[in-house]
Amino acid sequence: MRYIKELREGENVVEHYLCKSKQSLKSRAGKTYLSLKLQDKTGTVDAKVWDMTNDIKAFEENEFIKIDATVVTYQNDIQLNVKRIRRSLEGEYDPADYIPCTEKNMEQMYRKLMGYIKTIESPYIKKLLEEIFYHHPIISKCFKTHSAAKSVHHSYMGGLLEHTLSVTEICDFAAPRYKFVDRDILIASAMLHDVGKVMELSQFPENDYTDEGQLLGHLIIGSELIGQTAAKIEGFPKPLENLLKHCMLSHHGEYEYGSPKLPKTIEAFILHSADNLDAKTKVIEEMIENSSNQGSWAGYQKMLQRNIRKSDY
C-alpha cells in the first residue's frame, strides 16, 4: 500500500484509494475536468483528471477506486494528476487502510475521560453526564470512535474522544488557578462541548455532514441535548441548565465562528480558550507531521493564514 502521507513530487503512483468527493468542473477554456479528494488512513489528497479519455471509467463518491497518477505540487500542497481510473474490485484492498485513526489508545482515553464524571460533586451534573455518556442510544455507542471534524482537526476515528479529553484536561488544569470558577460546570461543559458532533457528522468512511448537522450544527444539537436530558432529571435547577447551555453555545468564541453567543461566564471563556488552543495546536501538529518540505519550514497553513516553522535549530 502506497499511503498518501508517503507521496512525493515527481513520483508515479498506481494504487487504490477511497474517493471522498467528486466534482465535474470546467476550466477557463471551457474544458470539462474532474476534481477529486482521495483518502486513506494517513490523510487526504486533491486529485485532478484533466483528460476525460476512455481510461477514466465510471465511479462515484465513497467508492474505492484504482488510479494511475503523477504526483505534483500545487500551492505548496501535494496533488495528483490522474491518467487512469477504475472501480476497485473486492479483495484488491483492505478497508482498514482507508479509515484514519488516532495513534493513541482509545480504551485508555475513554476510561480517563469517563473518570472525570466521578470527580463531579453536583449530583445534578453527575447524573446529566451519566445519562448522556452511558445511556444515550447513539452517544453511548459512537462517541469513542467518532471523528471531531470533517477535515479541519482531529478528523479521524477517535478524534472526538482525543480532542474532548485534551480540552477537559486543559480545563481541569485551569480550574483551580482562577477565582470564581465552578469546576463542575467547567468540566461538564468540556466533556460535552462537542458531543453534538456524533449527530452532526456521519460515521466513517463517509465522515460527512448529516442533514441534522447541516441544518442545526453541533452547538445547537448539544444545547438541545442538555435541555432534553436535564428535563428527565427530577429537580434539575433551571439556572444550572442555562449555564451549561451557555458554555455549549458560546464555545466557538465569536459570532463569525458560529457562536450564537459570546462567552459571558468565566467557565465559558476558559472552555472557549481550551477548545481553541487544542484545535489550532493540532492543526499545526498535523501540518508539521504531513509536510514533505525540506528544511525548517513546513509550509503555509491556510486556516491559520501563516507559514509554519518547525522548532529545530
For residues 177-196, give the mean pLDDT: 98
CB 248 within 8 A of CB 189: yes
pTM of this prediction exceeds 0.75: yes
Task: Report pLDDT for 42.
Answer: 85
* Interval 28-75: pLDDT, tens: 889 999 999 998 988 889 999 999 999 999 999 889 999 999 999 988
What's the confidence (pLDDT) of residue 152? 66
Query: At 150, is the pLDDT very low, low, confident or very high (cuts 50, 70, 90)?
Result: confident
pLDDT reported for residue 168: 98
Least confident of 150-154, 157-161, 229-233, 239-243: 150-154
Reported as a single tens digit per residue, the pLDDT across 105-128 is 999 999 999 999 999 999 999 999
Beta carbons within 10 angstroms of residue 181's beta carbon: 18
Distances in whole angstroms, Cα of residue 74 to Cα of each of 99, 169, 307 = 25, 38, 16
Q: Is it the case that residue 153 has pLDDT exceeding 80?
A: no
Determine the pLDDT at residue 202. 87
Residue 162 pLDDT grade (very low, low, confident, very high; cuts 50, 70, 90): very high
Identify the band that residue 155 occupies on the pLDDT scale cut at 50, 70 and 90.
confident
Which pLDDT score is estimated for 270? 98
Contact in structure between 140 and 130 (CB atoms under 8 Å): no
Helices 123-130/218-231 angle, 10° precision: 120
Residues constituting the chain: 313
pLDDT at 245: 98
Q: Residue 206 above 80 pLDDT?
A: no
Helix axes 238-250, 266-290, angle to 10 degrees: 30
Q: Cell 503523477: give the residue.
A: 70
Pair 65, 58: CB distance under 8 Å: no
How many helices and strands (H and E) does the chain possess? 10, 7
- 250-288 pLDDT tens trace: 999 999 988 999 999 999 999 999 999 999 999 999 889
Q: Is the dihedral of CA 249, 253, 259, 262 positive or negative?
A: positive
The residue whose grid cell reads 435547577 is 237
**Mean pLDDT calculated for residue range 149-155:** 75
Minimal CA–CA distance to 197: which of 256, 146, 151? 146
- Kindly report the average pLDDT of the chain as a whole number: 93
